[in-house]
Amino acid sequence: MKRRDLIKRGFRNLRRNKSRSVLTILALSIGAITLVLTLGLGNALRSTVDTQLADITNLVLTVTLKSAADKNATGVSAYNPDAKVITSYQDGPDGGGQVQLMTKEQIDQLATVVGVARVWPSYAVSFEYIKLADSKNSFVVNSVQEQSYNTVEAVSGTYPTDWKDSDVVLSDTYADSFGLSTDQMVGKEVVVGYYDRNAVIQEKQFTIVGVIKTNNGFGPRGGSTIGIATLSINALASIYNDQFKNTADYNKFASASVLLSSTDVEAQARSDIQAINQNYGLSSISDFTDTISTVLNSITLGLAGFSGIALLAAAFGIINTQLMSVFERTKEIGLLKALGMPNKNVRRLFSYEAIIIGVIGALLGTVIAFGVQELINNLFKQQLADAGFINGVINLSVKDILLVVIGLGLLSWIAGVVPARKAQKLDPMQALREE
Amino acid sequence: MIVVKDVTRIYGEGSSAFRALDSVSFSLQEGAALAILGKSGSGKSTLMHALAGLDRPTSGKILIQDENLWTRSQKEIDRFRNEDIGFVFQDFYLQNEETVLENVMVTLEIRGVTHRKEKAMKALHILDISEKANSKAKQLSGGQKQRVCIARAIVGEPKIIFADEPTGNLDSATSETVEKILFDLNKKIHSTLIVVTHDKDLSDQFENSITIKDGKIVDHKGKELTV
């Protein structure tokens, strides 16, 4: 008997028991829907994170100095008055140990590492106010940030890749305060005011080269009243000198940033930096993205596991349906065997029927899941985009759909083994005599 | 030539064992028409099932064209049932939800042949029921069903046609038609015809017949038959 004829016969049998077949397929498709949606959700989360982080290069390493911790000690360490370092009570990047401040010399030493293009300390500076050069109205600056080596999208103007000392990028929240559109802001001169070490206000003039969104993905975040100014590292360094020179903590920094010439040198640079001082803690955005993908994958897998339980229940539905089918069609099986159909083909016939149920269930589930995807992604388009899901919260991939269809075909085949074997073992004469 | 040698079939074991066939031996020439007559429970159906490759005898052997039937592999026996014999059942065993054509084609479908439709239509023509080809089997009368069943038996051009009480479920007028069809086929396509019946009138019309009682041949007639 040809395989095509067996499959055709399988379809005919399923059609004959329409309601039962449909119900079994529906049960299976519900499992398929949840599985496909779960995988689609995982895809969307991953792709959203990837898009958000795509602009962030892995070229910048953050270096901190952890206090040498005695791993065997318990309790809190005793205060050492001769330590000559300021102990900061914040957790290190890997959750353990306290962070010591780094000296300028230590930081400069990092520049000797091969593959390091630039090294700079974390300049913590603060501004009192900002105002247009030709205006008297001044506004607060909530956060002063250093230039980023990542691509940042500007609403107006450009986010410089090659910063001049006089460049400033402001958040779009200043547009209302200045009474200008974001486009009008570009090119305007602004004056910032800050206290120097003698508590005297100093002013410095900058040119607005770009305006960015306050709420920019995983980047700088803030409400509609938060003012953020971004400056070049050089400008920050000079303001830092104005603010802290000759103070006790001058040239002691919580962390340093290291710009690598390429991602290829990251591994070597990391070990070289660690070789300088084993207490250096290193972190880069890749550590962060790795953690995020691990978490996302775990969530997706966990949810998929729940769908798996639904599918398991559906598999028992297939076993039930096919067993009933064997009982009902005992005479037909007897006839087919009496007419010379080999036992092997009888088994195949029932296996194919189970697989057909599985594949149709998977396809139906996929189609419904696709509908759900379109519905949710379009209905909540704006809300999702605001939350950072630019490409929607469900994102079905061909690979996942293929996986689900093949997987469910396989599952159904396994579920159909017991009924198929039962059919295979029927004695034709007894089957025909059955009333 | 069909040769049956000391065929015994015992159902069950020990004290509950039942000897359905007891050392039955005979031989029948090719193309002959044979009636196996007997009452219910005489063993006549068991004999036919053994001949048709459906029920393995406990002992003895059956030679079909000098080839031992029951020493063949299951695959060969399946092939024998599909290609060498046609089977007409008392209860028809048609798939009620399928069309007449589909019911007839099933033999060829199992064999894996192409152009099944033409061959099946030819068989339906021979039995004069081709106009019902696309009707569902459940829409047919008893006589029509039996004709479809015979069409299914002959569609594969078998060497032997077995019929198990072919007129058992039919009224007398329809019975006559079916009997005539079977005899005509025997002459027309030169298949050996073996019919199991409890109807003396039917068996009298056969040139050869054996009568079975308690698993043994008690009477026989016919030139093409040797007991």
Sorted by where each starts, the structural domains of chain B and their CATH numbers stand as 32-56+74-221 (3.40.50.300)
| pLDDT for residue A381 | 84
| pLDDT for residue A69 | 57
Please tell me which residue, B171 or B75, carries the higher pLDDT value. Answer: B75
The token duo for A310 is 């639904």
In angstroms, the CA A287 to CA A123 distance is 23
| pLDDT for residue A49 | 80
Q: Which residues from B are below 8 Å from A339, CB to CB?
A: 81-82, 87, 106-107, 110, 152
Which chain A residue's Cα is nearest to B93?
A335
pLDDT at A90 over 50: no
State whether A1 and B54 contact (CB < 8 Å).
Answer: no
In angstroms, the CA B71 to CA B80 distance is 12
The token duo for A373 is 């995807």
In angstroms, the CA B118 to CA B122 distance is 6
| pLDDT for residue A277 | 85
Q: Tell me the β-bridge partners of A87.
A: A100
Q: Which residues from A are below 8 Å from B89, CB to CB?
A: 432
Residues 6+ apart with CB under 8 A from B41: none
Report the residue count for chain A. Answer: 435
| pLDDT for residue A73 | 58
pLDDT at B13 over 80: yes
pLDDT at A216 over 60: no
Which chain A residue's Cα is nearest to B112?
A1
Residue percentage of chain A with pLDDT more than 90:
42
pLDDT at A222 over 50: yes
Report the residue count for chain B. Answer: 227
Q: Tell me the β-bridge partners of A100.
A: A65, A87
Q: Tell me the β-bridge partners of B49.
A: none
In angstroms, the CA A66 to CA A77 distance is 14
Continuous segment of H or E residues that includes residue B34 = strand B33-38
| pLDDT for residue A341 | 94
Binned at pLDDT 50, 70 and 90, residue A85 comes out as low
Q: Which of A221-230, A330-339, A405-414, B20-29 has the lowest mean pLDDT?
A: A221-230
State whether A429 and B110 contact (CB < 8 Å).
Answer: no
In angstroms, the CA A24 to CA A61 distance is 55
State whether B54 and A338 contact (CB < 8 Å).
Answer: yes
| pLDDT for residue B176 | 86
CB distance B222 to B34 below 8 Å = yes
In angstroms, the CA A430 to CA A361 distance is 34
Q: Is B157 on the interface with A (CB under 8 A)?
A: no
The token duo for B2 is 């069909």
Distance linking the first and last C-alpha atoms of chain B? 13
In angstroms, the CA A327 to CA A279 distance is 73
pLDDT at B187 over 90: no
Spacing of C-alpha B223 from chain mean position: 21
Which chain B residue's Cα is nearest to A7?
B109
Cβ–Cβ contacts within 10 Å for residue A125, how many?
18
Q: Which residues from A are below 8 Å from B110, CB to CB?
A: 1, 336, 339-341, 345
pLDDT at A298 over 60: yes
> Residue B122: phi, psi to the nearest 5?
-60, -45
| pLDDT for residue A16 | 87
The token duo for A28 is 């299976």
Residues 6+ apart with CB under 8 A from A75: none
Binned at pLDDT 50, 70 and 90, residue B58 comes out as very high
CB distance A141 to A236 below 8 Å = no
State whether B75 and A342 contact (CB < 8 Å).
Answer: yes
Q: What is the mean pLDDT of residues A101-130?
A: 89
pLDDT at A89 over 80: no
Mutate to test the interface with A, among B46, B80, B95 (most CBs of A within 10 A): B95
pLDDT at A114 over 50: yes
CB distance A248 to A149 below 8 Å = no
Q: Which of A63-77, A183-197, A311-325, B26-40 has the lowest mean pLDDT?
A: A63-77
In angstroms, the CA A102 to CA A98 distance is 13
pLDDT at A309 over 50: yes
Q: How far is A4 from chain B (nearest CA, A)?
A: 10
Handedness of CA A315, A320, A325, A331 (dihedral sign): positive
| pLDDT for residue A77 | 64
Exposure string of B107-135, with b = 16+ CB inside 10 Å and e = fewer, is bbbbbeeeebeebbbebbebbebbebbee
| pLDDT for residue A23 | 93
The token duo for B20 is 């359905």
Q: What is the mean pLDDT of chain A?
A: 85
CB distance A359 to B128 below 8 Å = no
Q: How many CA atoms lie within 13 A of A4 on its CB side?
A: 3
Residues 6+ apart with CB under 8 A from A318: A24, A28, A354, A357, A358, A412, A415, A416
State whether B81 and A338 contact (CB < 8 Å).
Answer: yes
In total, the C-beta contacts within 8 angstroms joining chain A to chain B are 53
State whether B82 and A343 contact (CB < 8 Å).
Answer: no
- Span B66-125, pLDDT tens digits: 899 999 999 999 999 999 999 998 888 998 889 999 999 999 999 999 889 999 999 999
| pLDDT for residue A375 | 92
| pLDDT for residue A91 | 41
pLDDT at A96 over 50: no
| pLDDT for residue B34 | 94
| pLDDT for residue B118 | 92
Residue percentage of chain A with pLDDT more than 70:
89
Handedness of CA A267, A273, A274, A276 (dihedral sign): positive
In angstroms, the CA A209 to CA A188 distance is 8
Q: How far is A1 from chain B (nearest CA, A)?
A: 4
Residues 6+ apart with CB under 8 A from A175: A181, A182, A185, A211
Binned at pLDDT 50, 70 and 90, residue A80 comes out as low
State whether B95 and A343 contact (CB < 8 Å).
Answer: no
Q: Which residues from A are below 8 Å from B161, CB to CB?
A: none
Mutate to test the interface with B, among A328, A339, A429, A435 (most CBs of B within 10 A): A339
In angstroms, the CA A235 to CA A226 distance is 22
Which chain A residue's Cα is nearest to B86?
A339
pLDDT at A219 over 60: no
Domain boundaries, chain A: 3-54+290-433, 60-122+254-261, 123-250
Global pTM?
A: 0.72
Strand, coil or helix: what is A21? helix
CB distance B52 to B87 below 8 Å = yes
The token duo for A434 is 């059955």
Q: Which residues from B are below 8 Å from A17, CB to CB?
A: none
Please tell me which residue, A74 or A65, carries the higher pLDDT value. Answer: A65
Residue appearing with tokens 């079977």 = B182
pLDDT at A22 over 60: yes
- Span A146-187, pLDDT tens digits: 888 877 888 899 999 889 999 999 998 899 889 999 999 999
pLDDT at A261 over 90: no
| pLDDT for residue B7 | 95
State whether B109 and A9 contact (CB < 8 Å).
Answer: yes
State whether A341 and B80 contact (CB < 8 Å).
Answer: no
Exposure string of A137-151, with b = 16+ CB inside 10 Å and e = fewer, is ebbebbebebbbbbe
CB distance A223 to A139 below 8 Å = no
CB distance A377 to A392 below 8 Å = yes
Q: Tell me the β-bridge partners of A66.
A: A99
CB distance B53 to B2 below 8 Å = no
